[in-house]
Amino acid sequence: MNAPHPAKVAGIDSTVPSPAHTVASAADASPAAPPNTPRPAGAPGALLQDRLAGWVSDLTTLHELTERLARTDRLQDALQELLRAGAALVGARRGLVVLEPADGLGPDTTAGLGLARADLGHIETVPRSALSYGRLLDASAGPPVAEGGIAEPDLFSEKGLDPRHREVAARLGYAASYALPLSTERTGRLGAAVWLYDEPAEPRERQRHLAGLYTRNAAEHLARLLEVERTRTRMATMTEELLPSRLPRVPGVQLAARRRTGPRGGGDWYDALPLPDAALGLAVGSVTGSGPSAVAATGRLRASLRAYAVMEGEDPVAVLSDLELLLRLTEPARSATALFGYCEPALRRITLAGAGHSPPLLIGERRTEFVETSVSAPLGMLACWEAPSVELQAEPGETVLLYTDGLLHRTGDPVDRAFARLHAAAAGVPRAKRHDPDAVADHVLRTVLPDGAADADCEEDVVLLAVRFDQ
């Protein structure tokens, strides 16, 4: 009968340099030499230098890995970097990290390395108590977990292994695992990370020590990014709540809107308000600044404009004059651009007034042109704002595109080139899509900001409001 094979000891991945030192045991030491005998190469001084070289190598490895982690500024990117670095340190090929903050405020998420979404789904079907990361996440309700984490060097030789766990491990092809908790003193539990081995294996003591140091540092970084992610989510929620929950349905026109918010939350907004006599109030604008104060100012400005539009919407100049006075009295340190239009769908006519805002774009079968608006200053910049209104007469089937300056700024081009790019994008809308304002807005957004720039993090907000007149 053959004796069972001992579990393999995992080695550090070749992508991370391993220390070149070896330390001789006391049993292998040579007998004491005479006093005048030259010191051999394996003397204590050489052993000490070898050990110091190993420590320096370990510290260098940790420094490089933590530097790479520190350069991540998105939570998902940081989770992936944590998995890659941890796999290199413990000598694994695959792994997953489960983020589950103890305060219950989320976000709860799972990220995998070398595991597809379906693979993660299979693992999640295993009872939580049968998984090493599950025991770490629920450690607060049970006995304390050893600082070195939980190693399962040979899953299939373990007595009492959950049948479902055995089935999933065989299906995904892993035979061992090593899990570490992710927590900080300030936030408590954040989650847990587990790395999977294709064959029976476990990390050595030195590898566990390095992985433990790295994950403690990583947990602090994850805690900071977690707060940033929560702030972004709150800001996005606040901003969305301040905008129309849905666009009104008014006979004679079709409406579509698009908005992209910067990571800190900005002050770009839009509105479409049904008015008496089957009219429609259209508005886009931008408040200076970003963050909670800008979002709050946006909400106040939009609510005030709605009230002024109901009272005197037929006179867009009066609407913006009232808005400018309110802004100067209540927000003396802030300015804003705005464009308000009184739309009469039955006549296909819009009366416009602008305050330092970019001109609308008229898109039709036979013409694509910017609407000439009078030159005016932003609200709050002058002692008294005033500018004449202009009238826009559209043809059946034409679309008027209102937008904020963020659409131009995100291109990174000079202003004249950005306007040219916007004009070319509007002129290039396929004929089959021109009957749908949603398709027009999407085409313009994708063309002006290609390669995902419309969704990328940027300080500038983007707002589009498309108004199509029926045939």
Q: Each residue of 358-376: pLDDT tens digit?
A: 999 999 989 999 998 877 8
Which one, of 421, 447, 449, 434, lies nearest residue 256 by Cα? 434
Q: Do 277 and 188 share a structural domain? A: no
Domain end, chosen from 234, 266, 295, is at: 234
32 in any annotated domain: no
User: Which pLDDT score is estimated for 143?
Assistant: 43
Q: What are the distances in angstroms from CA 82 to CA 73, 97, 198? A: 13, 8, 20
Residues 164 and 134 sit within 8 Å (Cβ to Cβ): no
pLDDT band per the 50, 70, 90 thresholds, residue 29 = very low
Q: Are residues 274 and 205 in the same domain?
A: no
Q: Residue holding tokens 């904020």?
A: 404
Q: For 406-427, what is each residue's pLDDT tens digit? A: 899 888 899 999 999 999 999 9
Same domain, 261 and 331: yes
Of 22-26, 132-136, 212-216, give the lowest mean pLDDT range: 22-26
Six-digit token string for 445: 């957004």
The CATH number of the domain holding residue 153 is 3.30.450.40
At 157-204, the pLDDT tens digits run 988 899 999 999 999 999 999 999 999 999 899 999 999 999 999 999
pLDDT of residue 451: 75
Tell whether 67 and 127 lie within a shared domain.
yes
Q: Is the domain of 118 the same as that of 256?
A: no
Residues 230 and 93 in one domain: yes
User: In this predicted structure, what is the pLDDT of residue 381?
Assistant: 81
Q: What is the mean pLDDT of residues 193-217?
A: 94
Per-residue pLDDT, averaged over 253-261, amounts to 91
Which pLDDT score, from 0 to 100, does residue 265 have? 61
111 with 180, same domain? yes
> How many domains does the chain contain in total?
2
Q: Which of 199, 200, 181 is nearest to 191 (CA)?
A: 181
Residues 280 and 353 reside in one and the same domain: yes
Let me know: does 262 contact 459? Beta carbons within 8 Å. yes
How many Å separate Cα 66 from the centre of its chain? 21
- For 37-83, the pLDDT digits (tens) are 455 555 667 777 777 776 778 888 889 999 999 999 899 999 999 99
| Confidence (pLDDT) at 31 | 43
Segment 85-91 shows an average pLDDT of 94
pLDDT of residue 107 exceeding 70, the answer is: yes
* pLDDT score of 68: 94
Q: What SS3 class is residue 39?
A: coil
- Rounded CA separation 235/328 (Å): 25
* Residues ≥6 apart with Cβ < 8 Å to 179: 132, 133, 136, 149, 150, 151, 192, 193, 194, 195
How far, in Å, CA of 458 to CA of 454, rounded? Answer: 9
Residues 191 and 263 in one domain: no
Q: What is the mean pLDDT of the chain?
A: 84
Q: DSSP letters of 161-215?
A: --HHHHHHHHHHT--EEEEEEEEETTTEEEEEEEEEESSSEEE-HHHHHHHHHHH
**CA 365 to each of CA 427, 433, 445, 447, 448: distance values in angstroms, whole numbers, following the listed order:** 9, 11, 19, 19, 20
Average pLDDT over residues 449-460: 68
75 located within any domain: yes
Peptide bond into 107 cis (omega under 30): yes
Instruction: Examine the domain organization and report whether 187 and 276 are in the same domain.
Output: no
d(CA 203, CA 176) in angstroms, rounded, equals 10
Domain boundary among 201, 234, 267: 234
455: confidence class by pLDDT, cuts 50, 70, 90: low
Statement to judge: residues 333 and 352 lie in one domain: yes
Residue 28 domain-assigned?
Answer: no
Is the pLDDT score of 338 beyond 50?
Answer: yes
Contact 284, 272 (CB under 8 A): no
pLDDT single digits (tens) 281-320: 999 999 887 777 788 888 888 889 999 999 988 999 999 9
- CATH no. for residue 322? 3.60.40.10
pLDDT at res. 140: 52
DSSP line for 225-281: HHHHHHHHHHHHHHHHHHS-SS----TTEEEEEEEE--TT-EEEEEEEEEETTTEEE
Domain that holds residue 252: 243-469
Among residues 209, 234, 259, which one ends one of the domains?
234
Given a contact cutoff of 8 angstroms between Cβ atoms, the answer to whether 218 and 70 are in contact is no
The answer on 292 and 181 residing in a single domain is no
Residue ranges in 345-430 assigned as alpha helix (H): 406-409, 415-427
